[in-house]
Structure 1
């Protein structure tokens, strides 16, 4: 198996006039164009609108809904692992009665055969007293997934999670050597998006793949600037503010190489203050 990973980061741009069905068809076609990719990454909530809070209850889907089905077909077509970003997930009708709100901001990872290989419900909901905390439930499970074609584990996080370094430390302890972070991060805080991604890479000595949205929707101008960061904090590829596909091949051996050359992680003192 190869120690190199061909990554495509699809920074999708959209506005309020493009309906969900049309956008899903357009993005599925874009995914199918990524021949030769090992891992394709889409942004957070690109089907349902990162700031379209008032529309989420109407647009929410179960995990066997039309967006996942379309992306599953696209993953099979291109034969790649597809991190399809996130959707507003609605609890399945066949499930036992849900506690809480019964909706989540859920990232879905599909294997090359189109099957779901991982599901991550966003743990940290953004909005303080408005937006996500009032509409959706928080996830309660850390999730990482093995990318079998590359023999490496990827940790899953979403947007606002990037501000909580302890979560990434726990993913590191699950064995993650790549962190994948889809987002709907606004332009007004784009500087934070960029520097926090580098910080998470440096402190955990891992690759960080960040896929943001572009365009303007629900009155919010999105930040773009998706990026792929090396374990030493070097920005290997960065998008602008428009729709763009980042295509880069990363050498996964760089994780072990950097950790051996600068073995900071072995100096962690995890028992301080523990009786």
Structure 2
């Protein structure tokens, strides 16, 4: 299984419409991949709080239409990162979009854990409530977003729901890059699953981004890691490695608290 993580530079002087077209072109260039992943809130930037309301759109809005067309043209599964979704009741959500190779919107995931400590995203957006997985190629992916990475209980629920590959788009700040790398590896080790963590590059809304998108295997080994700038990270994954790891080192079987009912 070939996966490509597109670490996008959210340039402050690049209009959203221009970036949308540019990113669609980058997706189309990944026509040999099975799965393509984009970062969190790449249309306007994860820390551009003042722009959330003005750039909010429905889940079938202009970003979804552009990304669906790009997924169809490339023939790939596309996790299109996340957008600021405006729901029918007016509530804003940080919503991830997953497209199938025919360009159809297959799943949406509303970010459960909102970042900001009583400001920013935490006050401007509603919280998701659903654990979301999807069968993709020869595996099952589990969806999470950025700050979710700090909450292992969400990843336990994703594993219980069948996830074998965990996709985490993010807009992670550079000043906490060490946490980004550590938590990505921790979620992989404890879940015995692949983690594909795709971040943004550059500086937006005055916040320098960590970049360093990373792919971690079920043993916690780093398969590939990007640098700080805009970059495409392409890796070959073996979905069978998840079952093999869980069979050879059956730690999940020994869970006592929160063990699913047989």
TM-score bracket for the superposition, by shorter chain length: over 0.9
TM-score (norm 1): 0.92
Query: Displacement, 1:14?
Result: 2.1
**Paired residue for 2:123, among 118, 134, 156?**
134
Separation in structure 1 between the aligned mates of residue 17 and residue 207 of structure 2, nearest angstrom: 21
1:1-275 mapped onto 2 (5 Å cutoff): 5-92=1-88, 98=89, 102-147=91-136, 149-150=137-138, 152-270=139-257
Q: C-alpha offsets along residues 221-240 of structure 1, whole Å, 9 cap, x if unaligned?
A: 00000000000000000000
Q: C-alpha offsets along residues 146-194 of structure 1, whole Å, 9 cap, x if unaligned?
A: 11x22x1110000000000000000000000000000000100000000
Which has the higher Rg, Structure 1 or Structure 2? 1
* Root-mean-square deviation (Å): 1.0
TM-score (norm 2): 0.97
Query: Displacement, 1:79?
Result: 0.2
> Are residues 271 and 255 of structure 1, via their aligned partners in 2, closer, same or farther at CA, if it must alter by over 3 Å?
closer
5+ unaligned residues in a row in structure 1: which ranges? 93-97
> Are residues 271 and 144 of structure 1, via their aligned partners in 2, closer, same or farther at CA, if it must alter by over 3 Å?
closer
The SS at the match of 1:61 is coil
Query: Displacement, 1:196?
Result: 0.2
The SS at the match of 2:80 is strand
Tell whether the 8 Å contact from 2:85 to 2:93 is kept in structure 1 after alignment: yes
Query: Displacement, 1:271?
Result: 6.4
Separation in structure 2 between the aligned mates of residue 117 and residue 76 of structure 1, nearest angstrom: 12
Tell whether the 8 Å contact from 2:28 to 2:70 is kept in structure 1 after alignment: yes
Q: C-alpha offsets along residues 228-274 of structure 1, whole Å, 9 cap, x if unaligned?
A: 000000000000000000111101111111111111111101369xx
5+ unaligned residues in a row in structure 2: which ranges? none
Query: Displacement, 1:58?
Result: 0.6
Equivalenced residues, count: 259
The SS at the match of 1:117 is strand
Moved more, 62-71 or 158-167: 62-71
Q: Following superposition, which runs of at least 4 residues in structure 1 exceed 6 angstroms of deviation?
A: none
